[in-house]
Amino acid sequence: MSKVRSIEFKDYKSFSRFVLSSRERNVLVGPNNAGKSTALDAFRIAFDVLRFASRRTAILKTHDPFGVCSTWMVPASAVQNDLRACIHNFGDGPAQITIKLESGNSFVISIPSDGDIECFLVADIAGRKNTGFLRERFPLKLVVVPTLSPLEQNEELVLKETVERNRYGRLASRNFRNFWLHKSKDDFEAFADLVELGWPGIKLSYPEVEYGGAKPIVRMYFRDGANVREVQWAGFGFQVWMQTMMHLSEADQNSTLILDEPDIYLHPDLQHRLLDVIGQRVGQYFVATHSTEIINAVEPGDVLIVRPDSRGARRIQGESGYSDVYAAIGSSENAQFARLAKTKKVLYFEGKDARILSKVAKKQGGMDFISSATVTLMKTDGFANWSRVSTSSWVFENFFGFHIPVAAIFDRDYRCDDEVKEFLNDVNTNDTQCRVLPFKEIENLLLVPAAIAAAIRRHSTRVLPANWEDEISNIFQSCLEKMKSKTLSARIGSRISYEVGRGSKKDIATVSAAEEEDFTKSWLYEEFKRKVVPGKAVFSDIAGKVQEKFAVTLTPARIIDELRAGDIDPEMFEILHDIKAHLGE
């Protein structure tokens, strides 16, 4: 199967011209009526059109400028979306949707104001008529989660044909229990395991038919502790989670998932769990959302801002781009304070540390509380802003009227052990617990050669040369060595500033010489190098060389996916354990 490289619109709904270039993870954000759902609706249309066309022979027809292409005529009735308003500004049309795969092959859908839909395949070989040609040259496996609604109170027993007819449309929820009644018990158990990922401890039972009334009714029960209830008696969030898992149960790494605004129904913790399940189960996804939880859980480059007045979706670049996202979706710091009033716990962090820390915490059993909806995350600017952290508990109690425990995790930067110890003694109180990372900054966690090599092996689309692992080792070591002089200078400067600030009588030259001697001895050990160099800069340098040499994009998420528990500094576990205990998690 192949992933989507781009989807392009011409005179389609709100877009006169628009292109969305895609990656494996695509999170669409933007204000209401910007076109997020419009873009996902195009995938829904493509899903129905491809299902219809892939079962039928093609005709050969010329389409300028592509030449002779395999072409299919699809009746509008085969598409479950309303096509009446598909043409931009209610013009004459047609509206056109073009989906291009990584292979370079494209599928073009032309929707007229009236009549059949014309679609054709622009392939890397001459067009053919046989039914297998479309599946062979355009192997796109779409998994579309339809608009979800509450389950029926009394779901009548229906034929399998009825279930299949409604399975992908707005009537899917009406046949939810019937769908599983027609599946094997093994399939159902796999689905029940997926459901339990969101609701630990919930045990679903295979559906059963209840006779005795005017018509047979299909029931499905679940056990929650000592209680047994029918699924319709559960909350809407649970019903939506089950229906979403129903569609995900047939997805795999060859699938491209389409999901529109799951945050409407799911609370923040479930949003995180859903994103985790999706990331593990499918090869590519397109998710439209207004949720800051989902936005903050993915890498910056995975987020696309959709605006109705632009010609293309724009990916955000780094931390500064998040302000544009929050402005687009109407979010602000007020949302954090609203959550704080609910959670009554706060964890301060630096930069994008929370995203990396959250992923790392999941590698360590029982430490996945950073992404939880029970803790409010707030940014700080590090040691320089320590007073904000140390007074937070007092401020919240006196100005907002509630008492909260406060925790913070700071980067170490180039500070010496004595300075870190003194800082922690000053800032820690009964209400406030601060910890300092055992390395320069959070990105130092990514400097693990084995994990880097594993990520390259997993994501390379080329045949790697025989000595590629040696080349990775050389790249890694050269990037570390490049930072030796800068790191030494920064550590000496930091040590001198500390000694001067505390009124030390030590001679500056003596301080400098002692620091240089200690550094030079310690530099012989790779573990020391990996801790003290500027992790963000070194990782960026490594990623750039890997991209150039092997055409593989390294991201923090990809490296963390490959980390083993033994690759993570044991002190990180201690820090997370202390913070978790302080916050009462």
Helix, strand and coil content of the chain, in percent to the nearest 5, comes to 45, 20, 35
Q: Do both 434 and 562 map to the same domain? A: no
Q: Do both 87 and 218 map to the same domain? A: no
Which token pair is 3? 């992933």
Picking from 7, 6, 9, the residue whose alpha carbon sits closest to that of residue 88 is: 9
Domain count, the chain: 4
Q: Do both 129 and 263 map to the same domain? A: yes
E strands along 354-497, which residues? 376-380, 406-410, 432-436
Can you give the pLDDT at residue 345?
A: 80
Among the three residues 330, 352, 372, which one is the final residue of a domain in this structure?
Answer: 330
Can you give the pLDDT at residue 577?
A: 87
Can you give the pLDDT at residue 352?
A: 62
Can you give the pLDDT at residue 5?
A: 96
The pairing of beta strand 155-156 with beta strand 217-219: antiparallel
Q: Is 389 exposed, middle or buried (0-12, 13-18, 19+ CB in 10 A)?
A: buried
- For the stretch 61-117, pLDDT in tens is 999 999 999 999 999 999 988 888 888 887 887 999 999 999 999 999 999 988 999
Asked whether 408 and 349 are in contact (CB, 8 A), the reply is yes
The pairing of beta strand 217-219 with beta strand 227-230: unpaired
Residue 573 lies in a domain: no
Q: Residue written as tokens 């996202």?
A: 325
- Side-chain-facing half-sphere of 563: CA atoms under 13 Å: 24
Can you give the pLDDT at residue 388?
A: 61
Residues in the chain with pLDDT values less than 70: 1, 318-342, 351-353, 364-373, 381-402, 585
The pairing of beta strand 284-288 with beta strand 255-260: parallel
Can you give the pLDDT at residue 324?
A: 63
Asked whether 562 and 455 are in contact (CB, 8 A), the reply is yes
For Cα atoms 493, 497, 499, give the angle at the middle one, nearest 5 degrees. Answer: 115
Residue 585 lies in a domain: no
Give the CA distances from residue 108 to residues 100, 119, 142, 366, 494, in Å, rounded to whole numbers and listed in that order. 9, 5, 16, 48, 60
Q: Do both 164 and 37 map to the same domain? A: no
Does an H or E element contain 72, and which?
strand 67-74
Residue 581 lies in a domain: no
Q: Do both 100 and 27 map to the same domain? A: yes
Quote the CA–CA distance of 3 and 283 in Å, as a whole number.
Answer: 8
Q: Do both 321 and 378 map to the same domain? A: no
Q: Do both 275 and 403 map to the same domain? A: no
Q: Do both 230 and 272 map to the same domain? A: no
Quote the CA–CA distance of 423 and 384 in Å, as a whole number.
Answer: 11
Among the three residues 438, 468, 498, which one is the final residue of a domain in this structure?
Answer: 438
Quote the CA–CA distance of 376 and 307 in Å, as a whole number.
Answer: 29
Quote the CA–CA distance of 50 and 36 in Å, as a whole number.
Answer: 22
For 246, the domain range is 148-250
Q: Is 115 left (phi over 0), alpha (psi -120 to 50) or beta?
A: left
Quote the CA–CA distance of 56 and 33 in Å, as a whole number.
Answer: 36
Picking from 108, 243, 264, the residue whose alpha carbon sits closest to that of residue 177 is: 243
Residue 582 lies in a domain: no
Quote the CA–CA distance of 43 and 311 in Å, as a whole number.
Answer: 19
Q: Do both 515 and 464 map to the same domain? A: yes
Give the CA distances from residue 570 to residues 161, 349, 369, 405, 438, in Å, rounded to whole numbers and listed in that order. 56, 20, 18, 25, 10
Quote the CA–CA distance of 289 and 279 in Å, as a whole number.
Answer: 16
Residue 555 lies in a domain: yes
Residue 577 lies in a domain: no
Q: Do both 132 and 263 map to the same domain? A: yes
Rg of the Cα trace of the chain? 28
Which token pair is 46? 């493509």
Residue 575 lies in a domain: no
CATH of the domain at 313: 3.40.50.300
Among the three residues 410, 438, 466, which one is the final residue of a domain in this structure?
Answer: 438
Residue 559 lies in a domain: yes
Q: Do both 211 and 131 map to the same domain? A: no
Q: Do both 228 and 94 map to the same domain? A: no
Quote the CA–CA distance of 447 and 527 in Å, as a whole number.
Answer: 10
Which token pair is 487? 């790191």
CA dihedral 408, 413, 414, 419 (to 10 degrees): -10
Quote the CA–CA distance of 134 and 128 in Å, as a whole number.
Answer: 9
Q: What HEC string does 325-362 produce?
A: HHHHHCCCHHHHHHHHHHHCCEEEEECCHHHHHHHHHC
Can you give the pLDDT at residue 296?
A: 73
